């Protein structure tokens, strides 16, 4: 028997991480990626010397990033370098007030006691409450899959589920501790990072704002794409095979056992297939109908999808001193969020700004600046969200007006060297995300933990799934955990030779 061959569909974060883990354990791994570059949603656009991160920008839990390199037998410091950001964010409210959130507790307390004296204690109590629940979630839910019935129905899980108190919404659980609406918004906005409304998403997802405050927001030197490049480099060093611009057309299955993948004009035989392409789109287009188990078209129609993102990437020939991460809140935050999922296009949207060149001039030509503006928008499940040229240009103009309204940015349109735009349609087409839902299946209670598709979601032997729409969910550290779950499972059930 020779070395077992593994075919991985997609060179996104989870695909590359699974590839590194299995290649480093002696399997013979080939990754097939439809796009000409690795990274998936962690993509990069390069234009006239500007290097734009396309999707993720906020680094949390850098030790999870590093663990991948350590596991593969390398020193992470040779691949990735992180810097703690301070401040974490600058938050701007509709009435012109600003809140700067420091990663230094002493500075943060001063800010809270000055701006929100009534709420400083509640803020700390909120952090303590969600920290305790995070410890339970991390050990009980995020770190492992639910691969067989006994992984779900056991006393510990039932007890932990009760202790997590997931039934409350994120916003309600914040409001219990904090009275000021601005401070509530500062803690609630982050559920949008996984594409769910804070008014609907389970309270456990306030762990995102807790992690930011207690464990920090980090900057990855070279921008987020440095992680994709580092993973590509490590995989190739380990002897893996990467086939870019090579879309997979179908997973080959015979008698319920995965046999490999069909490419354009070619088939590739493999002992195991791991699909990193986002679950709903991948199952619907790559798996023969009789092998889709419960994931029928009807089931996918019934499932709920996260919001999407409209992003403007600006390469500017002028410096605009600001912080790396900023958020601007809509006047009516609740209406803005409700519109997202109604779905209705936002009239006065909240948005997020990212300017990595504030601390990393290597991403732009000398003296120039990058500004990335992300506006949460509805996904394309509603077919009126055409994102044709007319709709895109109209919304782009609306958003340029919003940027120009920020004090100091009034002249921005006179200083644009390059401009790119991603709409929900771009996400759908470039990365095969169903309905252009940038964070995959919406992480509501009935689509989280044991209810989310698992690594072994289909009744097909030797076929596995990794990535955002499978457990544990969206976000770089979280999909890195998904890669760990799937590769540990393969190691356990399929000997390498």
Q: Catalytic site residues?
A: 212
CA 119 to chain centroid: 31
Q: Which residues, other chains included, contact 394 with Cβ-Cβ below 8 Å and sequence gap of 6+?
A: none
The residues facing 261 across adjacent strands are 251, 268
CB–CB of 425/387 below 8 Å? yes
What gap in Å lies between CA 202 and CA 199, rounded to an integer? 9
- Of the pair 238, 479, the CB lying nearest ligand FAD is at 479
What gap in Å lies between CA 259 and CA 306, rounded to an integer? 32
Least distance in angstroms from the C-beta of 192 to ligand FAD? 10
Least distance in angstroms from the C-beta of 263 to ligand FAD? 8
Phi-psi region of 245 (alpha: psi -120 to 50; beta: other; left: phi over 0): left
Supply the DSSP symbol for 138. I
Residue facing ligand FAD at closest CB distance: 12
Q: Give the number of other Cβ atoms within 10 Å of residue 31's Cβ.
A: 28
Q: Please give the structure tokens belonging to residue 34.
A: 């439809």
Least distance in angstroms from the C-beta of 285 to ligand FAD? 7
What gap in Å lies between CA 431 and CA 40, rounded to an integer? 7
Least distance in angstroms from the C-beta of 388 to ligand FAD? 21
- Of the pair 9, 142, the CB lying nearest ligand FAD is at 9
Least distance in angstroms from the C-beta of 354 to ligand FAD? 8
Least distance in angstroms from the C-beta of 31 to ligand FAD? 9
- Of the pair 178, 403, the CB lying nearest ligand FAD is at 403
What gap in Å lies between CA 437 and CA 458, rounded to an integer? 22
Pairing state between β 369-377 and 250-254: unpaired
Pairing state between β 308-316 and 241-243: unpaired
Least distance in angstroms from the C-beta of 251 to ligand FAD? 10
The residues facing 350 across adjacent strands are none
- Of the pair 10, 202, the CB lying nearest ligand FAD is at 10
- Of the pair 157, 430, the CB lying nearest ligand FAD is at 430
Least distance in angstroms from the C-beta of 17 to ligand FAD? 8
- Of the pair 33, 232, the CB lying nearest ligand FAD is at 33
Q: At what angle do helices 105-115 and 120-137 cross, to 10 degrees?
A: 130
Phi-psi region of 28 (alpha: psi -120 to 50; beta: other; left: phi over 0): beta
Q: Please give the structure tokens belonging to residue 347.
A: 């009239």
- Nearest alpha-carbon partner for 342 in 379, 309, 374: 379
H/E segment holding residue 279: helix 279-286
Q: Which residues bind ligand FAD (CB under 6 A)?
A: 9-15, 32-35, 40-42, 55-58, 193, 247-248, 276-278, 286, 309, 374, 431-432, 438, 467-468, 474-476, 479
259-262's contacts with Cβ under 8 Å and 24+ in sequence apart are 260/7, 261/7, 261/9, 261/32
What gap in Å lies between CA 141 and CA 454, rounded to an integer? 12
What gap in Å lies between CA 353 and CA 251, rounded to an integer? 39
- Of the pair 55, 315, the CB lying nearest ligand FAD is at 55
- Of the pair 124, 263, the CB lying nearest ligand FAD is at 263
Q: What share of the chain is helix, strand, coil (3-state, %, to 5)?
A: 40, 20, 40
């Amino acid at each position: 028997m020779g070395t077992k061959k593994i075919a991985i569909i997609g060179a996104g974060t989870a695909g590359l991480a699974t590839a590194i883990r299995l290649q480093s354990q002696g399997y013979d791994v080939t990754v097939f990626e439809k796009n000409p570059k690795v990274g998936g949603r962690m993509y990069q656009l390069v234009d006239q010397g500007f290097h734009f991160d396309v999707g993720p920008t906020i680094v949390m839990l850098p030790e999870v990033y590093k663990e991948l390199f350590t596991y593969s037998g390398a020193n992470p410091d040779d691949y990735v370098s992180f810097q703690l950001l301070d401040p974490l964010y600058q938050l701007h409210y509709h009435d012109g007030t600003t809140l700067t959130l420091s990663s230094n507790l002493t500075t943060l307390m001063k800010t809270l006691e000055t701006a929100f004296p009534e709420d400083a204690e509640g803020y700390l109590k909120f952090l303590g409450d969600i920290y305790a629940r995070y410890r339970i979630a991390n050990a009980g839910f995020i770190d492992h899959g639910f691969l067989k019935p006994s992984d779900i129905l056991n006393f510990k899980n039932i007890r932990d589920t009760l202790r997590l108190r997931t039934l409350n919404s994120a916003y309600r659980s914040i409001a219990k501790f904090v009275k000021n609406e601005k401070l509530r918004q500062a803690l609630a906005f982050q559920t949008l990072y996984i594409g769910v409304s804070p008014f609907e998403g389970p309270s456990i997802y306030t762990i995102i704002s807790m992690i930011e405050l207690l464990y920090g927001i980090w900057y990855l030197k070279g921008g987020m794409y440095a992680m994709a490049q580092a993973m590509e480099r490590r995989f190739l060093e380990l002897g893996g095979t990467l086939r870019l611009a090579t879309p997979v057309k179908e997973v080959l299955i015979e008698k319920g056992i995965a046999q490999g993948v069909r490419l354009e004009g070619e088939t590739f035989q493999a002992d195991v297939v791991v699909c990193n392409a986002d679950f709903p789109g991948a199952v619907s287009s790559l798996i023969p109908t009789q092998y889709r188990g419960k994931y029928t078209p009807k089931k996918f129609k019934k499932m709920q999808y996260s919001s999407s993102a409209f992003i403007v990437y600006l390469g500017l020939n002028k410096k605009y001193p600001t912080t790396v991460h900023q958020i601007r809140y809509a006047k009516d935050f609740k209406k803005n969020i409700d519109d997202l999922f109604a779905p209705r296009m936002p009239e006065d949207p909240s948005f997020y700004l990212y300017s990595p060149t504030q601390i990393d001039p290597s991403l732009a030509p000398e003296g120039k600046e990058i500004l990335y503006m992300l506006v949460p928008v509805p996904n394309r499940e509603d077919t009126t969200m055409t994102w044709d040229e007319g709709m895109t240009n109209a919304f782009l103009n609306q958003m340029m007006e919003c940027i120009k309204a920020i004090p100091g940015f009034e002249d921005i349109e006179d200083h644009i060297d390059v401009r790119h735009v991603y709409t929900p349609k771009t996400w759908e087409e470039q990365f095969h995300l169903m309905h252009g839902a940038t964070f995959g299946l919406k992480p509501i209670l009935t689509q989280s933990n044991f209810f989310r598709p698992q690594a072994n979601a289909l009744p097909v032997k030797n076929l596995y799934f990794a990535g955002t729409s499978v457990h544990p969910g969206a976000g770089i550290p979280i999909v890195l955990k998904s890669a760990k779950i799937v590769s540990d499972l393969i190691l356990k059930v399929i000997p390498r030779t």
